[in-house]
Amino acid sequence: MALGSAPINGAIYRLDTEEASVLVRCVQKGGPSIVYWGARLPDHQGDTAWADHGGVLDRAVPHGGFDALQPLFLVGASDTVYAGQPILTLRRESGPVRTVWRHTSILEAQDALCFKLTDPGESLEISVRIEVVCGLIVIGLNVTNSVDAPLFVDHCAVSIPIPERLCRIRVFHGQWCGEFQQEDIELRSGLYARESRAGRASHHGFPGFVLSERPPVPDAGECLAVHLGWSGNHRMGVEQLSDGRRHIFAGPLLEPGEICLSEGQTFHMPSLYGCQSQKGLNGIRACTHRFVRSQLVHRKMPPHVQLNTWEVVYFDHDLDRLTALATDAAALGVERFVLDDGWFGRRTDDRRGLGDWYPRPSAYPDGLTPLSDHVRGLGMTFGLWIEPEMVSADSTLFEMHPDWILGPSDQTMGRTQYCLDLAQPDCFTHLRQTLLDLVGKAKPDSLKWDMNRDRVGAITQGQPSNHRQVLALYRLMDDLRQAYPKLEIEACSSGGGRLDYGIVARCDRIWLSDAHDPDIRAQIFEGFSVFFPPELAGMHVGPSPSHLTGRSLSMEARIALALLGGFGLELDVCALALQDKQALQRGIAFFKRWRPLFTDSRFEHISYRDESVTGFRMIEAGGRRSLIAVFQRAPRNLPSPGALPLCGVNPDFDYILQCVMAPQSLRSRAKRQPAIWTDASVTVSGAALLAFGLPLPVLAPGEAAILSMEACVT
Ligand code: DGJ
């Protein structure tokens, strides 16, 4: 970053991504405000051209309101006229701080701007960073206390005005086994806010949304997506101010007294990530996937095939059974064996044992080594489930340190467990050492790091401490990774209850949901993929009937969905019929052949006029090979299913289409099925595919089919 130092009052700075431009105007009194975030502006006009904008940034000032419409500053101040949601609220012991920001310097680089603002009267300093990182705009805010008097940060957020045309918001909410449900809401007057007060990003309030002009569709239209990379409480939304302007507000949700800065201390607001595309939700997917892959995930390798024991044995751990499971899994091509909940302490069910991270003597009298050695002897790696932030009342840890729990002992528990108070130094140190010892001794290649209850009422020594709990969690993960750089972490929180860029930056895989039923899972996956690349999500072939929905599901449909993410199994492979085993073996072999394509592929949702059908497409970088998956989630609305529209096909190429996975009863589902689904392989011109689309097969509800498409090299 070059030091451009002297701020010019009213100067406009420009940042560009491939698709979008951001203009930031900075005034001496108040600091920076985003005045444009939209389609990329013409290259020949640099920053200065926009400063003299011919008055198009002006807005009329109506009677009956303030005498001026001030910019909506990224960080509000007390000496500006703003009557919206609190943005930055600071307090001293003596009372509220009346902030008066003065812009003092700017650091300007090609892809980053950093504004320094001071409040001379209050000895405060803030810095606002706006940068382009791999196609995303990342906004950060730091607040520093420069005097020897405590400074309380009661609210910390940023404000970003949005154009009038973006009048719809798509939000993502849900529950255990029903994560990432999408809902479109038309913005009207007043406020639309999403919050989590659950101490995690939460199932019900994912910290991100998409703004658009019309209900967003996969391939077209302007969309602006924002996401707060924070694994704790948050508050974000869109507000229409009394003068009619709209803005986004977003930040962590803090409780009064939660953040107290002593002299020289700085509060770092979690980063806000945003991207803009004119190509609908698939345009957003392309940006976010590129960013997450290049900036956040550590494991750049294609995902491995994993078997997880949860739905196979639950708490019923028996060494002989698990050994046999590992043997059969390896024979199918599984590469990692993950021992889920139930292996430790007194953990014979979910009411006891958390906190005691040593092998359960009744199940593992000789420790975990006999099992892990067996697994490794079969050529697989070994993973372990843990839930370190929690403790059961029925555990040695609780008996020794009942004072380490967060909240009173007579609280209503979640899954019969307490949260540990990670803000207590002794508790944190113990936990950190326990985890280091566990990894040092059992030497797992991966940890499935779970968190199964909301963290509410977090108070440490009389002060709210939810924010500190999350920072402590990050520190635990960071320390562990530093000590064991090869250790992989799979983030889980009752499925996808804690999914955000803060946790993803510390993980290699995420457990998206306990719903394996392809019908439910396809919907979850569609919403999830707006912010995260598909291969990050473990996608497991679960048992049939589904333990959750009780529905019987074809093996092909379960495999089809798993092929789109991090392929895994969560079923008793020892008890499978031969036909199912063979299908799994084929599915795993296919996945292994194609997975190199996954780490930088383009992933698209294909929408179709019959909403009972969900389609996904995964396209290799360069566009030569792709996979198309079709899920018949409900009874068809159209008797003859028609053809799926395809874009991104080269009209000058011929493509070889091959059905990879389809129900065994496919032919009997209709008088005639399209040849591309029944013949060994069919060659079709790209021009024809673009003109006519991809003919869909007749599928029964709950069935799925996958096709590979390869451009012929001529
Ligand atoms: C919740 C997770 O979502 C499940 O996959 C499993 O790991 C259980 N916890 C274990 O208790």
- State whether the beta carbon of 535 lies less than 6 angstroms from ligand 1: no
- State whether the beta carbon of 570 lies less than 6 angstroms from ligand 1: no
- For helices 555-562 and 518-528, the axis angle rounded to 10 degrees is 10
Q: Residue 625: is its pLDDT beyond 60?
A: yes
Residue nearest (by alpha carbon) to ligand 1 atom 1: 494
| 8 Å CB contact between 668 and 697 | no
Beta bridge partner(s), residue 659? 707
Distance separating alpha carbons of residues 552 and 548, to the nearest angstrom: 11
pLDDT digits 0-9 by tens, 388-429 = 999 999 999 999 999 999 999 999 999 999 999 999 999 999
Shortest CA distance to 73 belongs to which of 33, 25, 126?
33
Alpha carbons within 13 angstroms on the beta-carbon side of residue 538 total: 29
Q: What's the gap in Å between 711 CA and the centre of ligand 1?
A: 41
Beta bridge partner(s), residue 569? 307, 541
Q: What's the gap in Å between 467 CA and the centre of ligand 1?
A: 24
Residue nearest (by alpha carbon) to ligand 1 atom 9: 494
Q: What's the gap in Å between 683 CA and the centre of ligand 1?
A: 44
Which positions are catalytic? 450, 514
Q: Got the DSSP string for 540-553?
A: EE--SS-TTT----
| 8 Å CB contact between 577 and 583 | no
- State whether the beta carbon of 312 lies less than 6 angstroms from ligand 1: no
Q: Residue 57: is its pLDDT beyond 80?
A: no
| 8 Å CB contact between 23 and 34 | yes
Instruction: Read off the DSSP letter of residue 294.
Output: I
- State whether the beta carbon of 514 lies less than 6 angstroms from ligand 1: yes
Q: Using the atom order of ligand 1, give the atom closest to the CA of residue 493.
A: 3
Q: Residue 1: is its pLDDT beyond 50?
A: no
- Minimum mean pLDDT among 100-109, 271-280, 348-357, 501-510: which range? 100-109
Q: What's the gap in Å between 214 CA and the centre of ligand 1?
A: 38
| 8 Å CB contact between 349 and 412 | no
Average pLDDT over residues 656-675: 94
Number of H helices, E strands in the chain: 14, 42
Phi, psi (rounded to 5 degrees) for 439: -70, -40
3-state secondary structure at position 421: coil
Question: What pLDDT is recorded for position 53?
Answer: 60
Res. 359 pLDDT band, cuts 50 70 90: very high
For the chain, percent of residues with pLDDT exceeding 70 = 97
Beta bridge partner(s), residue 36? 23
Question: What pLDDT is recorded for position 217?
Answer: 83
Phi, psi (rounded to 5 degrees) for 127: -130, 140
Distance separating alpha carbons of residues 485 and 667, to the nearest angstrom: 51
Q: Residue 51: is its pLDDT beyond 70?
A: no
CA distance to 10, 135, 600, per residue, from 138 (Å): 22, 9, 21
- State whether the beta carbon of 99 lies less than 6 angstroms from ligand 1: no
Q: What's the gap in Å between 495 CA and the centre of ligand 1?
A: 7
Shortest CA distance to 323 belongs to which of 374, 278, 365?
374
| 8 Å CB contact between 148 and 162 | no
pTM given for the model? 0.96
Reported as type and span, the H/E element at residue 440 is: helix 425-442
Burial state string for 341-366 with b = 16 or more CB within 10 A and e = fewer than 16: bbbbbbbbebebbbbbbbbbeebbee
Distance separating alpha carbons of residues 630 and 260, to the nearest angstrom: 52
Specify the higher pLDDT residue, 530 or 622.
530
- State whether the beta carbon of 340 lies less than 6 angstroms from ligand 1: yes
- State whether the beta carbon of 387 lies less than 6 angstroms from ligand 1: no
- State whether the beta carbon of 222 lies less than 6 angstroms from ligand 1: no
Shortest CA distance to 271 belongs to which of 171, 141, 117, 133?
141
pLDDT digits 0-9 by tens, 243-256 = 999 999 999 999 99
How high is the mean pLDDT of the chain?
93
Distance separating alpha carbons of residues 347 and 324, to the nearest angstrom: 22
Average pLDDT over residues 88-102: 92
Distance separating alpha carbons of residues 708 and 627, to the nearest angstrom: 5
Q: Using the atom order of ligand 1, give the atom closest to the CA of residue 495.
A: 3
Q: Using the atom order of ligand 1, give the atom closest to the CA of residue 570.
A: 5
Reported as type and span, the H/E element at residue 52 is: none
Question: What pLDDT is recorded for position 5?
Answer: 60
- State whether the beta carbon of 310 lies less than 6 angstroms from ligand 1: yes
- Minimum mean pLDDT among 491-500, 545-554, 560-569: which range? 545-554
Distance separating alpha carbons of residues 565 and 381, to the nearest angstrom: 19
Q: Residue 52: is its pLDDT beyond 60?
A: no
Res. 48 pLDDT band, cuts 50 70 90: low
Burial state string for 537-561 with b = 16 or more CB within 10 A and e = fewer than 16: bbbbbbbbebbbeeeebbbbbbbbb
Shortest CA distance to 28 belongs to which of 123, 107, 115, 88?
115
pLDDT digits 0-9 by tens, 279-327 = 999 999 999 999 999 999 977 788 999 999 999 999 999 999 999 999 9
Residue nearest (by alpha carbon) to ligand 1 atom 5: 514
pLDDT digits 0-9 by tens, 496-505 = 999 999 999 9
Q: What's the gap in Å between 414 CA and the centre of ligand 1?
A: 14
Q: Using the atom order of ligand 1, give the atom closest to the CA of residue 415.
A: 11
Shortest CA distance to 76 belongs to which of 120, 36, 126, 130?
126
- State whether the beta carbon of 341 lies less than 6 angstroms from ligand 1: yes
- State whether the beta carbon of 492 lies less than 6 angstroms from ligand 1: yes
For the chain, percent of residues with pLDDT exceeding 90 = 82
In the block, tokens 């199964």 appear at 452
In the block, tokens 């018949």 appear at 632
Question: What pLDDT is recorded for position 109?
Answer: 84
Q: What's the gap in Å between 21 CA and the centre of ligand 1?
A: 42
| 8 Å CB contact between 630 and 704 | yes
Q: What's the gap in Å between 535 CA and the centre of ligand 1?
A: 20
Q: Using the atom order of ligand 1, give the atom closest to the CA of residue 513.
A: 3
Question: What pLDDT is recorded for position 477?
Answer: 98
| 8 Å CB contact between 629 and 616 | yes
- State whether the beta carbon of 311 lies less than 6 angstroms from ligand 1: no
Put residue 660 in one of left, alpha, beta given phi > 0 → left and psi -120 to 50 → alpha: alpha
- For helices 319-332 and 369-377, the axis angle rounded to 10 degrees is 20
Res. 120 pLDDT band, cuts 50 70 90: confident
Pocket test for ligand 1, best of 310, 348, 521 (most atoms within 8 A of CB): 310
Distance separating alpha carbons of residues 76 and 58, to the nearest angstrom: 20
Q: Using the atom order of ligand 1, give the atom closest to the CA of residue 448.
A: 7
CA distance to 277, 390, 503, 530, 628, per residue, from 39 (Å): 7, 46, 30, 19, 30
